[in-house]
């Protein structure tokens, strides 16, 4: 864990209020994302109890399975939710085909872009996309266990969303707790940050009130699993409904079940919209839109498979080459996300400075006349020298390659570190990207050079042969 992150946690715990970790929003937010909160029975992750959804903070919709252990009633609630999910996704499924002028290959696009779903926490993300999507995607349309077409299509879409959640930086399914933890540091453990109510209480807390509001928020549960103790009371309500002898008593029992189940889900729905409002107050980081374009392209390919009468099918056990490509893409996205956030946000760059993997200082002088013979060359070329005054001694070894925090890919080499009366003098040699000395910091300008490579990304299709760990075995046992 980064030392600066620990200090921020200590500061938050001391001041009784969350501390900003980022100065920009490193997440793309759609204009009207679909917010979904849900409950499943404590011991039945594949038995949804209730859904609450909507795009308007003030007018949510809901569906409740009054007897979630009964298959027909459970799927009746799922069907209602699936219909609304299908209506929300319908505009994003309209596909147009374009042609790349260079390769002359056709590729799908969706004029409406890609959908965005925001849930209270990562548990709801897994319950909604992974568990529910897996339970619905291959249901039959006819027979005694048949389900509606809308339900089967919902399973296919949720399955695709589940596959997408494994990619770092994706924004099609966003847990609100994960988004808030990226931008604020609370005084509680990171595991406790999964409680959306508690995390929001830390962000909104009035230090004059102490921990009262935070302690109260920690007792709230926003799903996806219900409290086992609350399930005992729910069972009594369900049993009373099942034994009702008149329509009036049955209707009243269903209202009692809704009154028991819906209030915490409505709180989760409102809290998720509150989290969206907090995130919108931050200016969007430029790389966030670029990452969203990857989501849009991926969704367009999924939408292109949804033009038939039957939902698309998904591989349960991916092939070896597909698994390697997926791992490579996840690694690529993780590196890109880290680089994007570090070089676009000074508060996150400060974590590298605290670790000693970045050099922070004020430029004292620039020597544009310096020339050297670079490795592989025979002529002397311009290598500008940057002299910086730093308060802290860099711990990086000499000749380390550093990248400038500016918008251009300027690469420097750490040449010399000497002590001074009021700090340290650091000498850097600009090796690449300075464009004949025009892309350099000016004297008197505070600047940062970090050891985080901005360019050396492994590409998904450039990993060479499949690793031996993923190669099939021959009959004789040789790999």
Tokens 């109260």 found at? 216
User: pLDDT at residue 473 above 70?
Assistant: no
**Integer distance in angstroms from the first to the last C-alpha of the chain?**
39
CA distances from 330 to 127, 151, 325, 477 (A): 22, 30, 9, 31
Q: Is residue 478's pLDDT more than 70?
A: no
| pLDDT-derived band at 457, boundaries 50, 70, 90 | low
CATH architecture of 356-450: Beta Barrel (2.40)
Q: How far apart are CA 345 and CA 336, in angstroms?
A: 14
Asked if residues 265 and 49 have their Cβ atoms less than 8 Å apart, the reply is no
pLDDT band, residue 477 (cuts 50/70/90): very low
Q: With 80 as the cut, is the pLDDT of residue 463 above it?
A: no
Segment 130-150 shows an average pLDDT of 86
Q: Which of 295, 300, 217, 227 is nearest to 261 (CA)?
A: 227
DSSP bridge pairs for 61: 53
Alpha carbon distance 14, 369 (integer Å): 51
Confidence of residue 2 (pLDDT cuts 50, 70, 90): confident
Percentage of the residues of the chain whose pLDDT score is greater than 90: 65
How many of the other CB atoms lie within 10 Å of CB of 209? Answer: 10
Q: Is the pLDDT of residue 145 over 80?
A: no
Q: What is the DSSP string of 268-310?
A: HHHHHHHHHHHHHTSPBPHHHHHHHHHHHHHHHHHHHT--SSS
82 has pLDDT over 90 = yes
Q: Which pLDDT score, from 0 to 100, does residue 469 have?
A: 65
Residue 332: pLDDT band (50, 70, 90) is confident
Sheet with strand 173-175: strands edge to edge: 61-64, 44-54, 34-41, 117-119, 173-175
pLDDT in tens, 279-319: 999 999 999 999 999 999 999 999 999 988 899 988 877 77
User: Taking every pair of C-alpha atoms in the chain, what is the biggest distance, in angstroms?
Assistant: 97
Alpha carbon distance 447, 363 (integer Å): 7
pTM score, whole prediction:
0.90
Kindly tell me if the per-residue pLDDT of 78 is higher than 50: yes
**Closest by CA position to 187, among listed 340, 331, 9:** 9
The answer to whether the beta carbons of residues 49 and 74 sit under 8 Å apart is no
CATH 2.40.30 domain range(s) in the chain: 356-450
Rounded mean pLDDT of 395-403? 93
Do strands 106-109 and 184-185 pair parallel, antiparallel, or not at all (unpaired)?
unpaired
CA-nearest of 212, 176, 155, 180 to 57 is: 176
């Amino acid at each position: 864990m980064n030392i600066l992150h620990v200090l921020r946690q200590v500061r938050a715990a001391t001041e009784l209020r969350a501390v900003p970790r980022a100065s920009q929003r490193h997440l793309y937010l759609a204009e009207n994302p679909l917010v979904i909160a849900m409950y499943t029975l404590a011991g039945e992750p594949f038995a949804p109890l209730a859904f609450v959804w909507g795009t308007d903070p003030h007018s949510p919709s809901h569906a409740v399975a009054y007897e979630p252990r009964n298959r027909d009633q459970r799927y009746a609630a799922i069907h209602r939710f699936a219909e609304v999910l299908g209506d929300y996704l319908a505009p994003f499924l309209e596909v147009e085909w374009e042609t790349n002028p260079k390769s002359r290959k056709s590729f799908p696009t969706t004029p409406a872009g890609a959908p965005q779903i925001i849930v209270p926490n990562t548990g709801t993300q897994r319950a909604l996309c992974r568990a529910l999507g897996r339970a619905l995607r291959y249901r039959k349309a006819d027979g005694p266990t048949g389900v509606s077409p809308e339900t089967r299509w919902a399973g296919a879409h949720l399955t695709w969303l589940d596959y997408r959640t494994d990619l770092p930086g994706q924004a099609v399914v966003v847990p609100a707790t994960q988004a808030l933890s990226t931008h604020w540091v609370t005084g509680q453990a990171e595991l406790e940050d999964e409680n959306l109510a508690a995390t929001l209480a830390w962000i909104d807390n009035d230090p004059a009130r102490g921990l009262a509001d935070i302690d109260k928020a920690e007792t709230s549960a926003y799903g996806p699993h219900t409290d086992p103790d609350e399930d005992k009371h729910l069972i009594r309500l369900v049993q009373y409904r099942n034994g009702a002898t008149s329509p009036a008593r049955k209707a009243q029992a269903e209202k009692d079940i809704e009154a028991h189940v819906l209030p915490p889900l409505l709180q989760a729905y409102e809290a998720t919209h509150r989290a969206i409002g907090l995130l919108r107050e931050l200016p969007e980081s430029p790389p966030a839109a670029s990452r969203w374009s990857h989501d849009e392209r991926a969704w367009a390919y999924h939408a292109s498979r949804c033009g038939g009468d039957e939902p698309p099918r998904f591989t349960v056990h991916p092939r070896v080459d597909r698994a390697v490509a997926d791992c490579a893409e996840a690694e690529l996205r993780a590196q890109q996300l880290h680089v994007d956030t570090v070089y676009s946000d000074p508060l996150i760059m400060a974590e590298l400075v605290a670790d000693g993997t970045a050099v922070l200082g004020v430029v004292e002088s620039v020597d544009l006349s310096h020339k050297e013979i670079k490795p592989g060359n025979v002529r002397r070329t311009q290598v500008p020298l940057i002299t910086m005054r730093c308060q802290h001694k860099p711990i990086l070894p000499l000749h380390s390659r550093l990248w400038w925090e500016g918008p251009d890919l300027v690469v420097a080499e750490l040449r010399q570190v000497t002590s001074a009366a009021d700090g340290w003098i650091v000498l850097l040699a600009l090796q690449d990207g300075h464009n004949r000395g025009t892309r350099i910091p000016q004297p008197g300008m505070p600047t940062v050079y970090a050891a985080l490579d901005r360019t050396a990304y492994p590409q998904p299709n450039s990993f060479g042969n499949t690793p031996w760990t993923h190669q099939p075995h021959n009959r004789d046992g040789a790999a």
